[in-house]
Every structure is written in C-alpha cells, then in structure tokens.
Amino acid sequence: MKTDKTKILDEIKIKSDKIKRTVCLMELCGTHSQAVATNGIKNILPKNIKLLSGPGCPVCVTDQGDIDIMVKLALNNVPLAVYGDILNVPGNTMSLEQARQNNADISVVYSVDEALKIKKINPKLVFFGLGFETTAPMTAWAIKNNLTVYSTHKLFPPAMDALLKNKDIKIDGFINPGHVSAIIGTKVYEKFKVPQVITGFDGADILKAIDMLLEQILKKQTKVENEYQRVVKKNGNAKAQKLINEVFEIKDTTWRGLGIIKNSGLKIKKKYQKYDAEFIYQDIIKKIKKEIKIQPSACQCGLVLQGIIEPRQCKLFNKICTPNNPQGACMVSVEGACNIEYRS
C-alpha cells in the first residue's frame, strides 16, 4: 500500500512532467532546510524541481558589523549573554568565541529567562537579541522585565520583497516560513505576486507544499495557501504581535549578504531606551563603527542566502570551509545552508 508521502510524490511527478521546464522553489525557513535534508527530499524530487535555501537562518543573516560591535563591547568589559549558534560566526576581526578566549565575559543562554537570571547577578549584562518575528516577542517580554538588549531582530516579509525585486534571482514559488507565519499570520504575504505555501516541518508537509506550489504554477495562480493550519492562523498570534509593537519600532537594517533592507529591522522604542544597549553604549558603538575594517573574504554566503549559488558551488566548501573551520555564517549554524549541505 502506498504511504501518504509516496502518493504526494506521484502527484509531484505528474505535475512536474506537465510543467516540463526547471522550477526553482525557495524554502524560507532554516528549519525547513534542515527538514529537506533530513528527509532526503532533494534526492527524490524530479530533476526539474530545484529547491533553494533562502535567508531563513537568523544567525546566518546577522550582519558582520553587529558581530564586531558585540565583540568590541565584550572586550570593553561589557558582559554578554548570547545564543550558542552565534558564538563561532566570524566578525571582521574575530568571533565572539575568540573574544571569549581573550577573557571576555560571554555566557551562552538558551532563553531570555536564563539571561534575566544572569542579569540579577550581573546588572551590566547585555543580551544579543537576534532572529525574526519568532524570537522578537520573547525579547520584547524580557525588555519589559528589565533585560538590556542589543537588538538585531529582523522582519521577514521585507526580505521576501527584496528577493523578488532582485532580477538575478529566479524564484517560481516560496515555501513560507512556518514559525514566523505562526506569529504574523497569512494575510501579510498576499501582496507578493508569486505562488506561496506555508507548511509544517514533516517530510510529508514539505512534499505537500511542493505539490501545492506546482499546482499553482500549472494553473498560473499566485496565491498564499496554508498547509499548516494546525498551527498558523490567518491573523497570526495577536499577543505576540502586541508585544513586538509595544517594545519595538521599525527601522532599516543590514542583512549579511543582502545589504540594507528598508523597514526590515526592529529597534527598541524610546520608552524602553534604558534597556537599549545601542542607546546606552552609543559613544562606544559610534567609535567601533568608524574603526570597522571590512576584511576581504572569498566566502559567498551572500549568494547562498539568496539562492543565487548552491553551497557546493563555493570554492571553499569542504576544502577550507568546514563546520570546524567555518569561513562564513552559513557553515556555522545548524540551520545554515552550507552546514546542512556539509552534513547531507
């Protein structure tokens, strides 16, 4: 008897035969990229269906300049709390791990709760806030509970807009991020005139999303479909959105590899500026920004994050660049496209 997965795969084969041309679908969530690899999905798809990883790994899109600022603050005796994934991401001068080896006080935490506990012992503590709409509500809650934060939080839809406007990138459909969509809902994506499906993280969920995208392509439709209704609702999570809006305001921000994207960053509002590390340490940060020397690098993370090249097309992949010797952020995080490809 055929399993659900096999039946969906049969449908995908029928549709891909009808489409004939190469179809490029981009998964926009690092967890989806992991699920694609774990379930061996690229190997079982018809040859003309290409899956690309997008900028969905929060650590990978954190700008080198922000890493430099955090490194310098730590070396200036500001204690930090950071998520473990960011430790080995290279900055222009060094990584946070290297700063730690130079006696900087950097604690690895798994939640803002842990950071709040450390702050009780060490009141100068700064938490490195990063990630998309998924982690921003927790950071907002922690700021309301007196945690000092350096915010590099980012909003996902402006990045999708930037990808669609880039003529060098060919995308026939998006597998929209599942976790982000649980917060922001489905309506926000309707402005993008491209086939989109929001889906879960099982192999069958991803195959179903691919099948639904091919169906839209065949019918020349560009709509947002929600295969993940068990979690994602049309209007998203109102409480989480309220927290974000209460604590943060929107600003332009820099994404590693993608450059400055208008209205894609979250800055702490004036009302909470006594918890805003960017405000508290503004003089040091201004000085650091002037001193930053961008180091030339052969790393092509920027192109990988936009789906312009695949990890193996980078000359350094699995030669100089490995998870033990990462040359770029995409090889550091377990959600990074190069790291996933290395482990596949």
Residue nearest ligand SF4, CB atom distance: 328
One-letter identity of residue 266? L
Among 107-115, 266-274, 276-284, 328-336, which window interacts with ligand SF4 (CB under 6 A)?
Answer: 328-336
Q: Which of residues 141 and 317 has its CB atom nearest to ligand SF4 in the complex?
A: 317
Q: Is residue 301 part of the contact set for ligand SF4 (CB under 6 A)?
A: yes
175 in Cβ contact with 212 (< 8 Å): no
Q: Which of residues 132 and 317 has its CB atom nearest to ligand SF4 in the complex?
A: 317
Instruction: Kindly state the number of chain residues that form the binding site for ligand SF4, as judged by CB under 6 A.
Output: 14
Q: Which of residues 125 and 304 has its CB atom nearest to ligand SF4 in the complex?
A: 304
**Looking at 194, 314, 333, 335, which residue binds ligand SF4 (CB under 6 A)?**
314
Angle, vertex CA 151, rays to CA 148 and CA 155, nearest 5: 145
Q: Is residue 330 part of the contact set for ligand SF4 (CB under 6 A)?
A: yes
127 in Cβ contact with 150 (< 8 Å): yes
Q: Which of 82, 144, 140 is nearest to 110 (CA)?
A: 82
Q: Is residue 340 part of the contact set for ligand SF4 (CB under 6 A)?
A: no
Supply the minimum distance, in Å, between the C-beta of residue 252 and ligand SF4: 25
Q: Which of residues 98 and 322 has its CB atom nearest to ligand SF4 in the complex?
A: 322
Q: Is residue 272 part of the contact set for ligand SF4 (CB under 6 A)?
A: no
DSSP 105-160: -EEEESSHHHHHHHHHH-TT-EEEE--STTTHHHHHHHHHTT-EEEE--B-HHHHH
Q: Which of residues 53 and 226 has its CB atom nearest to ligand SF4 in the complex?
A: 53
Q: Which of 167, 151, 174, 159 is nearest to 277 (CA)?
A: 151
Q: Which of 230, 237, 264, 197 is nearest to 58 (CA)?
A: 264
Q: Which of residues 120 and 296 has its CB atom nearest to ligand SF4 in the complex?
A: 296
Q: Which of 260, 301, 323 is nearest to 60 (CA)?
A: 301
Supply the minimum distance, in Å, between the C-beta of residue 318 and ligand SF4: 7
Provide the mask over 280-299, with x wherever binding to ligand SF4 is found by CB under 6 A and - wherever it is not: -------------------x
Handedness of CA 275, 276, 279, 282 (dihedral sign): positive
Supply the minimum distance, in Å, between the C-beta of residue 260 and ligand SF4: 21
Q: Which of residues 29 and 314 has its CB atom nearest to ligand SF4 in the complex?
A: 314
Q: Is residue 67 part of the contact set for ligand SF4 (CB under 6 A)?
A: no
Supply the minimum distance, in Å, between the C-beta of residue 338 and ligand SF4: 3
CA distance 160 to 55: 9
Residue in the block written with tokens 């990988």: 304
Q: Which of residues 68 and 133 has its CB atom nearest to ligand SF4 in the complex?
A: 68
Alpha helices in the chain (DSSP H): 4-19, 30-38, 41-44, 64-75, 96-101, 112-121, 136-144, 156-165, 178-184, 203-218, 238-247, 277-280, 282-291, 301-305, 329-332, 337-343
Q: Is residue 37 part of the contact set for ligand SF4 (CB under 6 A)?
A: no
Query: What is the phi-psi region of residue 179: left when phi exceeds 0, alpha when psi lies from -120 to 50, beta otherwise?
Result: alpha
Q: Which of residues 197 and 316 has its CB atom nearest to ligand SF4 in the complex?
A: 316
Q: Is residue 327 part of the contact set for ligand SF4 (CB under 6 A)?
A: yes
Q: Is residue 338 part of the contact set for ligand SF4 (CB under 6 A)?
A: yes
Residues that bind ligand SF4 (CB under 6 A): 299-301, 304, 311, 314, 316-317, 321, 327-328, 330-331, 338
